[in-house]
Amino acid sequence: MSTFLAHDGTKLFYRDWGTGQPIVFSHAWPASADEWDPQMFFFANRGFRAIAFDRRGHGRSEQTWDGNDIDTYADDLAALLETLDLNNTILVGHSTGGGEVARYVGRHGLSRLAKTVFLASVTPGMLKSDTNPDGWPLETFDGFREGLLKNRSQTYQDAALTFYSYDQPGVEVSKGTQDKYWYQAMQGSLKAHYDCVAAFSEPDFTEDLKKITVPTLVMHSEDDEGVPYHFTGARSAKLIKNAQLKTYKGLSHGMAETHPDLINADLLAFFQS
């Protein structure tokens, strides 16, 4: 397996397909690089270099006790770009991965980047506060943590229902997709996934987003159950200078997997613009 070393020596798994302009994909909690199979295959076959890595404590990467926080995640992403010496790079972040991309810019700047994409991203923030009154209260995320400690396998199975909107009437359920989500989650570390709840829910990415000046696409379903559009994607698009906003009706938080033809076409149009 291909691996690189983070700045603290942690060994992280990545896959690197194709040649051309690099696209680096950052995945959601509690998934892995495998989440991006439909996009990796599509873009590696269309003249791009598609790269995705497993966040520390997720998938096939080393399961560290410490460092499961958004700043370290961003520094790990920076180590990947530095190790592979990537330039003119497109960063694509889904859910927690969107926070990772935003904090990367906040901590490491734009010198290696050409474009960014925030796909159903947790940015600019999930937690209810004076500046985000519609966000979810801390008790919601405490419930996630409690579920992980009680029975994390069942928690992942339950989470898959809202991740793909399989709990909604009329939505066709794919057991294969559910099983893939569960398998990715079970590969990871309980400690990392427990800590990552705070990493995706508590940071305020407002100042990070304001630093983004490269062309940016914000993609979000207005019916996203896992990361509600009205206090994430809608706000992100207003904070990022000259961001393009692409919204969808009736799609899930995991729309890149359930509707890859649609999402890949919209990504390709943005990449080629």
> What are the CA-CA distances from residue 156 to residues 62, 135, 196 (Å)?
20, 22, 14
Neighbour-count burial of 253, counting CB atoms closer than 10 A to its CB (0-12 exposed, 13-18 middle, 19+ buried): buried
Which are the contacts of 146, defined by CB distance < 8 A and separation ≥ 6?
none
C-alpha span between 81 and 64 (Å, rounded)? 21
95 is catalytic: yes
Instruction: State how many domains the chain has.
Output: 1
- Count the Cβ atoms, other than its own, within 10 Å of residue 54: 25
CA-nearest of 117, 133, 127 to 39 is 117
Phi/psi of residue 241, each to 5°? -60, 125
Among 16, 195, 208, 224, which one carries the catalytic annotation? 224
**Identified catalytic residue from 26, 95, 189, 221:** 95
The catalytic position among 75, 253, 259, 266 is 253
201: domain CATH number? 3.40.50.1820
Containing structural domain, residue 247: 3-272
The 10s digit of each residue's pLDDT in 177-235 is 999 999 999 999 999 999 999 999 999 999 999 999 999 999 999 999 999 999 999 99
- Residue pLDDT, tens place only, 40-95: 999 999 999 999 999 999 999 999 999 999 999 999 999 999 999 999 999 999 99
